[in-house]
Structure formats: C-alpha cells, structure tokens
Structure 1
C-alpha cells in the first residue's frame, strides 16, 4: 500500500491552472526559451512572445522578468478591444495618477448639429488626438519614474484579441514606431507583445510602415508544450516532493505516460488534469492504483471537457450501427500527434487499429471527415492547401483520447461521466 506521508499541503495549492502568479514550486524550467528572452530584454528591440493557449507564455515571461528584476506593467489587449483603443487601455491602467483631464470633448461637440460647428468638430478631433498622445507620454513618464534604473517593460498580453482588428493592430504598430521618437525614447520603455498568433512579425511586415515596424521587433522561439521527460519531472515535483506521496519509479513512469498522452504536455492542461488525479488519489485514501487514472479521466471530462464531450457524443454513430466507422475515425483523430493531418493518414490508422472490419473494404474516411468539419461548432476544418484538415479546438483531440477506448474485440467504448458523484 502506498500512502501520503504528510497532509499539510492541499492539492489546489500545488496544481494551480490559470494562476495569475508563477507557481515557483511547480515551474518547469525552459532554459532555451528563458535564455532567448533574457538576451532580448538586454537588447534594443521590442519582443514578441508567441505560443498556443495554455503553453505557459505568461509564467515564462513573469519568471524571467522577476529573475532580471525588471519593472513591468501588463496591458490586457482585451481591454483595448473593449475600449476601441490601445492608448485608452494604457491610460486606464497606468494613468490613474494623472490629474483629471477632459479627453472626450470631441464627442460632446458631435451633439451640436449646426453647420457652423462642423469645422470646430474637426479641429477638436485633432486636439483630442494630440491630447491623448500627451497622456500616453505621461504614462511612459510614470513607468520610467517607478522603474528607476531598472529595465522597464510594457506587456501587451492576449494579442489574439485584436489580431483581426486592423485599426488596433495599426495603432500598435504606430506606438512601436513612436517609441523611437526622441520625445518618447528618453523613457526607455520596451514592449513585450504576447499572444497566440505565430505570424505576428510577418503581419506587421505587410502593413503600412511594415519595414519600419518589423525592424524594431524581435521574436523568441515559439513557446510550446513540455516533452515527455519534463512531464515526468512535473509529476515527481507535484506528487512526490510537494504532496509527499510514496510512489515507486514504475508507477511514476506509468502516471507520466498517461498524463502526457492525455494533456499533450500543455502546462495548463497538466495542472488541470493532475489536480483531478490528486482528488482521485484522495478519494482512494491516497493509495496509488491504476483505477485512479480512470477516475481522474472521468473527473477531468466532467469538470473541464464536458461541453466537448457532448459535442463528440453527437458526432458518434448511433448504438444500433454495426460497424460504427465514424467512431473509428474519431478514435484515429484522437491518436494523432500533429495539428494538421491528411485523409490518407486517418485511413491508415483506422486500418491498422481495426483490421477485422476494414479488410478489403472502403473506409470513406474523406466523407466522414467532411461530415465532421461541416458539423455545428466543427472541431476540425479543411486546411488552405491540399487534402488536409486542421484542429479548430485543441480540447477536441484531448477529449477524444480520454473518452474513447478500444477493447480487445476492436469495439469503441465511451468512458461514461454521468455517474460521477
């Protein structure tokens, strides 16, 4: 019997998905990325930090900025999207120390409808633009004063919230160019742009002033998932070091294999799943048994993937269907390790995994994939090139891996969640 030595730490203190602050006890070092970011911070360019959702971009930059004792303020670009202006978002976050100023008087003028006001309205709009720039400069001045002699950064997080908004992207580009102006350069404020889109620099290169913007920014390598060994390190840190569970090496590897398979090594998903695994062990009196992994799967489906689970249920074959080819294709999709796949690859997996029902028959994988891609809230879509598909929702593949099981008779079974208490 394996048990827990100490009960002083709670599972939700160790596994902390979406935590605002870096959980230093569970932080897995990414030396290569950290080195690139540190060197970029010591350089003269503005910085792009890119990577899929949940891969740990925020923890990465916060860890490095803390190590270098950098002063920084975060601007959530969702706020800029709401306000319709990045400058307004900067002012709303940093400018609280500024004296009250009437920066909306142009809107007041619009209420006056006489013909003689039109010229004045245009004039006031110009004054408004100048005044707003002055307020942005005042914000930079505040940042530099608070930073002292430290490196000073303004973090623009969640770039994906404005990436399709050409006006806000152009404004961001203008701000990047503006910081080279002597008037603003004196404050030595460096931008760090954080987001999901991978073609950020390429986007700027195609805009007005594209070369000017592209020449002022640098990208660090993409922040991606953890590898299998890092996941095992994560398991040992959380379950053995922090929660003080007695787990032998064989079980550690078994747990790590399963967790890596389910989560793809995505840090946020690791924290989410391992929290549920903790609860499964707790319900089992902290005994480390294989059934706890299945229980954790059920917990995770219920708490984190329920809506995705329901969508997949709707895509599956009816119970009375004999062959259930659609279920086989869904199972094959879940086994993929890459984000883009071809019809031929799915067909190969289906034939390999279900030989007794695919010998000398057509699978019609192309038709089934097309059906899935045209479904409501489709989890996959056709790629822009060739006979290929890409994932729209990363949770779809994760849910497939947990939800669908193949028995010894090549029958697809669905892991139930309705019985979870």
Structure 2
C-alpha cells in the first residue's frame, strides 16, 4: 500500500514538473511573439506619423473599432477585465477560458500598435495565465495545482517580457499567489528556467540599452524624495483609471465610448506624441540624452504635462475598450518623474545627481507604488536595463514608494474590486 501511494505521489510530481516546463515554453513563446509583433506595428505606424500627424486622427479610431468588432463577433461579446480575471480564477475557482489567449494577444497588439496609451504587459499576464489554466484542466492528476500552473505561466511571460527571471518569480508570488509552497516553487522555477533559457538561445537584448557607471551616496536623500513623490503619483494614477473608466461605462452605447475615446486620444497625441502606445520609444530617447539635459521652461512644461496627462490618456484608452493596464504607464511616468526630480535638484540645490540614474530608479518606484510589489519592480527594472549597479537605491526607493502609496490609498487598480467585496 505504501509503495502504491509513493508511486502515485511520484507520478503526480513528475506530471507537475513536465507540465510546468511545457507551460513555461509556451508562455515564453507567446510573450516574445507579442512583444516583437507589437514593437513592429508600433514602430512602423510611428514612422507614418512623423511626416503626417493627421494619421493620429484615424489610428486610435481604427484600433478601438477593430477591437469592438473582434470582441462582438469573434469573442461573443465577452469583455477582457485584465488581471482581475486572474485573481478571480485563483481565488474563486473560476476558470480562464481558452479564448483569453487569442483575445488578449490580438487586442493588446491592436491597442498599443494603433496608439492606445497603455502596454502589452497585462495582455501577456492574462493570456499566459490562461495557458497555465488550460494545462491544469487537461489532467486529473493536476487538479489541485491550478494556482501553481497559472503562476508558472505568468512568471514565464513576465520573464520573457523584461528579461528578468527574478521579476517573473516575484510577480507571481507578490501579485498573483501571495502564498509560498513547495509546489509553487517547483512550478514557477521550472517555467522561468525554460523561459530564461529560451531568451538566452534567442539572444534577446534588454529593453533599454543604458550604461550605469556609478551612483553617489549623497543622492540618497533625493532618491527618498523621488520615492515619496512616486507614491503620491501612483495614487493619482489609480484614482484616474477608476474614475475615468467609471464615467465611460456610464455611456450605454459602445459606439459612443469609441468615438469619445478616439477623439480624446487623438487630440492629446497631437500635442504630446510621446504618449503614443506604450511610450517606450520616448523613454529610450530620453535615456540617451538625460545626462546632457538642462532645465528650461519648455522642457519642464513638457515633462510636467506628460506626468499629469499620461494617467488620463491611459484611463481613456481603457475606458474606450482598449486592452491593457497600469504596468507600462507606471514605468513611463516613473522615468519622466525621475528625470524631472533630477533636473530640479541639480538646478536649484546644486545636487550634482545623475539624471539617468533617477530615470531608472523612478521607473521602479512608480511601478512598485502602483502594483504594491517592491521586489518585483526592483528586479524587473534591473532586468530591462541589464544592470544591477543601482540595486541599493532601487531597494530603498521601491519600499518607500509602496509604503507612501498604501498609507494614502490601501488598494490599487488590480485590487480595488477585491477591497470593495471585503468591505461589503
């Protein structure tokens, strides 16, 4: 009898190991594909906009309209609800249907490619979670490992997007599971190992090409200030998304949401084309010139406008039916917030800080405050630049930003509904 039980247990663990490896491979493949296809579309459409800004008047309308018809006719009118769908699946026992894979893949691609001011991170998270969900349903032995396999898919997807296996593991733990177990560690570590191995084989470069030479201990007080400001800004981002989406949902007809959203998006992009798509193109440009910038009135006005308007345009994108979340917007806002703080303290306090470093730290701070996941944000940003020189200031600022954010607002965009349920 003991031998039978031991054999059964061994067979279950073996199936979990094999399934985790497969989920990791499939999730990584999907993530890399979505990343490169979206980059291709976004870059090519941006090239059309440079000589002729009139394209900005039609691209958002085309994107929202296509998404509406796909959702209405191909996906039978079922809306995408972002990471909350993953929470529901993990906590309430609901399943993520298989159509979530093509739905989020296609809608995320079209949203960002045609100017929607968000990112593909949430699309990646939900579609890779659906891969893990399908895997657990296919085998009776794996019924009790649903959360582990969903987290395996998500961890591999995040690893592939940001070239950071630790960010993938920590995101699965800090944001999705929030529970640690032997089966969780085995499933996620194996899936992330496959994903990272595939990244090495494909020679995937970091998202941002920068060289961090050093940082100064005298900059710590200013990093702390940046963390506090990022925490405050994350609350503004959260409130914007929740309020503006609520106003859009008051419009009964989806056609009205599309027209209003496309009009607002086009109008804002005409004045601030940096907000087109995920905005990573604008971050890359400013990373290259950050250390040579001087604080002038036009530069200050543009950066402040970007910080204030980005949450609004992201919220409009989501309210009009676009696919995405606050992941990429947080990274984008944080980069420009860090740049502004560095330029201000250098100009008015003669601080002699390095603006490039503040852009990097700002990304992590804002992301940490927005999703309440400091370790994920730390390793994610180290992954996207391929450098750990700023590890200490990143660690300090990520926790300061998160604490500031949670002191003011206990929930974020992903946990808002959850909090309401508990409160009621």
TM-score band (shorter)? under 0.3
Whichever structure has more strand as a proportion of its residues is 1
Q: Which has the higher helix share?
A: 2
Whichever of the two has the greater Rg, that structure is 1
Calculate the TM-score normalised by the size of structure 1: 0.26
